[in-house]
Structure 1
């Protein structure tokens, strides 16, 4: 019997930001909040199918728009879950930081993740559509760090902010704050793809490579590992969907974040039954990496993160199809990593 390893809860469908690249464009993802009672019922419902230690992501929309977010966080930890809180940080008060600080040594509280697009307010705020959001998010990041709370900064890189991302990375590195520059924007969840105009082109990636090579490749780590990682061709291609579910603010059950193919609703369907018996999830548990000829023959498979959303949104949610754009991106990442390593070897940099 499959076990539920990952439970993603979009506890707030609404968001106070309107990011230009956001994947959450389906009409059904705009309204609704999960209450603390909803979340308690969800945990009760998954008891027969969950792993003992389950990963829980509290996300949105904007999580702090949910008036029950504190109760939901506490209850999730009490359910022996390892919890991540995702927020844009604009609504977090000093009292909220003090509340979170109580759990900084709790093994069930993993971290707070915050999206930040630039240190320059005019660029960040143009992306979020919320004037003043850069200042608010930065203030929250600093407050969380000062309080000893584990914080991680996620920075999607696009045409409008790519030249400011290196400064953001250096700032976070110097502050010893974990961060990640995401170089590939995947398509909208409604499959219209209106956001891919913000995706970096090959030319953009070349420019970004030049920026990361400065100061003896100080930021060269953005291109990944120095050597290929082994990948088991017998591993499931859609592993995250095969071992998890997403429950959105209105109670809708989906396979995973970004893939809004409705499987049911907690207010009328059994989460256990959906997870164990839904035909779409059953297919996800059958398709292996090695089932794709392109993957079997790919020399760059070790550089691939096997992010299924990139393939699913590019193919209107159809299983068994790859995204050429994402595969081309992986090939390019390998080239960048090899160029970096060759240059560092020539410069005798470790």
Structure 2
């Protein structure tokens, strides 16, 4: 049984993710954020539950749908919002946008746009941790679509052979863009069974129950630190909004009628509120502080400068060619 202080922290972190992304969705039509955004509204419990078991020394890599992972890992909110606006104060200097986030200070190594692209990066980080005899672990966030990429099999196999301290945290939201799981996987196949077939230890937990995710992850991460070998946690959950963008897309018809409403009735945030019933004064104060933080982040992002043209070649591996080269 979790103590109340920890449960309230989980709730706070879920509120931070939900309110931040709701604000992004509200502001997006103003055309100040010109990068694509992939929002995680409805999936907050998975990100928060996983990251609750990680320290800042542990590393995490993520996907194109990375805001929740970045914030749950402790990433700087101001730097996130500035990055979405393409500003120099962004976490990647305004060069990455929504799908390329990083906050090395808290162990959020990187997120990348290509499905499955960050999986071998995370496994490589876990190899580095093992070689250094570190107690740190790496978390690789991925979606159900990424298990259909060849790189997942290659990286997971390598992790199993080397018994690397890596956790594959799979948010199974049932869809890869508009294609449901039943169109991409054989009937009856469990992703946990697929992972076990590669050599990973695997569990499934309700991805909308933040306390259940946090409890399981704490045990799994402890086993990783003890050298038990790589692990896979599948978390069934659901995204409420369109694959890419700020709007509802239920009218497109790729979701069965009533499916979205059924998952919204299982709102992980409302379920947590009902379960722990926080004090009304605490909840009001928390909502007020978060609203002020988020509003201030947007104001600072709008006021911040764009990257200087003179910095266009900063951070590349080779100097730009000279005219006589």
TM norm structure 2: 0.34
Please identify which structure carries the higher strand content: 1
Please identify which structure carries the higher helix content: 2
Higher relative contact order (CA 8 A, sep 6+): 2
TM norm structure 1: 0.33
